[in-house]
Amino acid sequence: MHSTFYPNRKYIIGNRKSILVLGIGNVLRSDDGVGIHVIQALEAEQIPQGVAIEDGGAGGLSLLDSMQGYDKIIMIDAMELGAPAGTVREIAVDDLSSIKSRLNEGTHGFNLHDMRALCETLNGVSPEITIIGVQPGTIDFSEHLSPEVEKSIARIRQMVLTEISQFTGEKEGQ
């Protein structure tokens, strides 16, 4: 896993809410890596204090450690939405079971619902989770996104920035 931490930032300031933006995927499988590509696009943005950006790799139980201590988690992943390639949808955690995604398949019996419940057990609170799903066009071996999914990156980036500003109450770009 690759994390981007900014040394001049504190991730939790006073009662300020903290956010984790987690890109999930395999960049060697074309559109499956869309979550990682979005994370890379966000690294060039001015991200507010209290927000961490992380490459979650292919997901699984290892995400549990990453999810600890955040008020909100925004996950970006390729998912079978039954829609044209590049389609982007915000998906509620409770609706995830009807979608083919690594987030509800789980590893060693743990899926996103289980990990959220475990976070609550360990921290006393369950983070608010927003999932941004992207319909892949291809998951063949390639380091390049399909043109349809590549076009969706700017929209997803904007969705993430909007989620951050709505959650923190700050205007985008502050």
The pLDDT tens digits of the residues spanning 109-132 come to 445 556 556 555 655 567 788 889
Instruction: Look at residue 43 and tell me if it is in a domain.
Output: yes
Residue 151 domain boundaries: 2-168
Confidence of residue 69 (pLDDT cuts 50, 70, 90): confident
Which pLDDT score, from 0 to 100, does residue 47 have?
85
pLDDT at 12 over 50: no
Which of 11 and 96 is assigned the larger pLDDT?
96
Mean pLDDT, rounded, for 12-17: 48
- Using the predicted structure, report yes or no on whether residue 66 has a pLDDT greater than 80: no
> Would you say residue 173 lies in a domain?
no
CATH of the domain at 89: 3.40.50.1450
What is the DSSP secondary-structure string of the chain? -EEE--TT--S--TT---EEEEE---TTBGGGGHHHHHHHHHTTS-PPTTEEEEE-TT-STTHHHHHTT-SEEEEEEE-B-SS-TT-EEEE-GGGGGGSB-HHHH-BTTB-HHHHHHHHHHHHSS--EEEEEEE--S--SSBSS--HHHHHHHHHHHHHHHHHHHHHH-PPTT-
Average pLDDT, rounded, for the chain: 77
